[in-house]
Homo-oligomer: A and B are copies of this chain.
Amino acid sequence: MVPSDSKIQFDHQGRLRHFLTINGLPKETLVQILDTAESFISFGQREIRKVPLLRGKTVVNLFFEPSTRTRTTFEIAAKRLSADVINLSAARMSTSKGESILDTARTLEAMHTDLFVVRDSASGASHLIASHLPEHVRVINAGDGRHAHPTQAMLDMFTIRREKGGFEGLKVAIIGDVLHSRVARSQIHALSTLGVDEIRLIGPRTLIPTEVEAMGVNVTSNMAEGLSGIDVVMMLRLQRERMDGQLVPSEQEYFNRYGLTDDKLSYANPDAIVMHPGPINRGLEIASSVADGDRSVILSQVTNGIAVRMSIMAKLMGGQEDP
């Protein structure tokens, strides 16, 4: 089971040390992260994009599960903060020599590295490292099993706030494979904390876990009903390996029922935005015309992801002033 890790995220003075899960973080912490990210957004358009905030610091991308895309966003964010970045495909490291995750992390910490960005296919890997390494080390969860992907959720929140001006009164739909999605769990926590009006989960019953209904969301498997009155449509990525006929019918049937097309999108509010954490499966969970259409903010999410990750890194490493 996944530990309740909200407490470990703060030091004894109440400052954010790690970023492992959104579950349990106060609203003001989330808002601070979004506010700081705002200052890094304009920054991305400047001629020179370096700030020396993390100069001389070493960021380790410790990816036990491969993800070139997510790793690249953290690498770019860290380099724009002037950090040195070490990329470790830890899968190879651990399997070839049989070292445990903790021994690997302890060894890297002994090299005076400062910040670990951890991805693992098992839930709790970043929590394990955060709870066993010395005080001064910082850990960011870049996705662990089905548990959490909090930086993804934060960039989604940032994108919503930029597009919609805030969270109050918003109706948000999360569509697809909630069961296997760490992204969805983190999104639900963030949306709840930031105070949207309603969260609806839409997908086949086999892909909506019963426990989430306890999180104060509404659930439906009907797209027309679910999208009605929605301001923000958050698509989830469907793993093709789920397509074995057990949980999901054929690709074609899934697309017919749950794939986001212009037709289905018309049930939502006229100014609804469409989001997706990427990479998208065109013609599976989303039609190309929607993904590339004028209501899609998918590429803005990517851009925002750099600013939000810079903000989180800066907060963990240097945010001594704010409580």
B76 and A106 contacting across the interface, CB-CB below 8 Å: no
A50 and B45 contacting across the interface, CB-CB below 8 Å: no
The interface on chain A, measured as residues whose beta carbon lies within 8 A of the other chain's beta carbons, has a size of 54
A86→B55 CA distance, assembly (Å): 18
A103 and B72 contacting across the interface, CB-CB below 8 Å: no
Q: Min CB distance, A107 to chain B, in Å?
A: 5
Check: A204 CB closer than 8 A to any chain B CB.
no
Among the stretches A22-30, A89-97, A121-129, the one at the interface with B is: A89-97
Q: With CB as the reference atom, state the residue of chain B lying closest to A92.
A: B68
> Contacts A99-B279, A107-B302, A302-B107 given: A113-B76 contact, CB under 8 Å?
yes
> Contacts A76-B58, A103-B279 given: A112-B68 contact, CB under 8 Å?
no
A55 and B44 contacting across the interface, CB-CB below 8 Å: no
A97→B65 CA distance, assembly (Å): 13
Q: Min CB distance, A146 to chain B, in Å?
A: 18
> Contacts A68-B93, A76-B113, A92-B68 given: A299-B84 contact, CB under 8 Å?
no
Q: Min CB distance, A27 to chain B, in Å?
A: 28
Number of copies: 3
B47 and A107 contacting across the interface, CB-CB below 8 Å: no
B49 and A112 contacting across the interface, CB-CB below 8 Å: yes
A111 and B306 contacting across the interface, CB-CB below 8 Å: yes
B66 and A107 contacting across the interface, CB-CB below 8 Å: no
Q: Which of A24-66 contact B (CB under 8 A)?
A: 44-50, 55-58, 66
B48 and A107 contacting across the interface, CB-CB below 8 Å: no
Q: Which residues of B contact A46 (CB under 8 A)?
A: 56
> Contacts A110-B303, A278-B107 given: A240-B98 contact, CB under 8 Å?
yes
Q: With CB as the reference atom, state the residue of chain B lying closest to A51.
A: B56
Q: Which of A230-285 contact B (CB under 8 A)?
A: 240, 278-282
Q: Which residues of B contact A55 (CB under 8 A)?
A: 48, 50
B113 and A300 contacting across the interface, CB-CB below 8 Å: no
Q: Which residues of B contact A75 (CB under 8 A)?
A: 86
A48→B55 CA distance, assembly (Å): 7
B303 and A111 contacting across the interface, CB-CB below 8 Å: yes
Check: A315 CB closer than 8 A to any chain B CB.
no
A96 and B66 contacting across the interface, CB-CB below 8 Å: yes
A90→B279 CA distance, assembly (Å): 13
Q: List 15 A-B contacts (CB under 8 A).
A: A44-B112, A47-B56, A48-B55, A58-B79, A69-B107, A73-B111, A76-B86, A76-B112, A76-B113, A107-B278, A109-B299, A110-B302, A110-B303, A111-B305, A112-B303
If A68-B92, A103-B280 are given as contacts, then 19 extra A-B residue pairs at C-beta distance below 8 Å, sorted by A number, are: A44-B112, A45-B112, A47-B56, A49-B56, A68-B93, A69-B93, A72-B86, A72-B88, A72-B111, A76-B84, A76-B112, A79-B84, A97-B279, A98-B240, A98-B281, A100-B282, A110-B303, A111-B303, A111-B306
Q: Which residues of A are at the interface with B, using a C-beta cutoff of 8 A?
A: 44-50, 55-58, 66, 68-69, 72-73, 75-76, 79-80, 84, 86, 88-90, 92-93, 96-100, 103-104, 106-113, 240, 278-282, 299-300, 302-303, 305-306
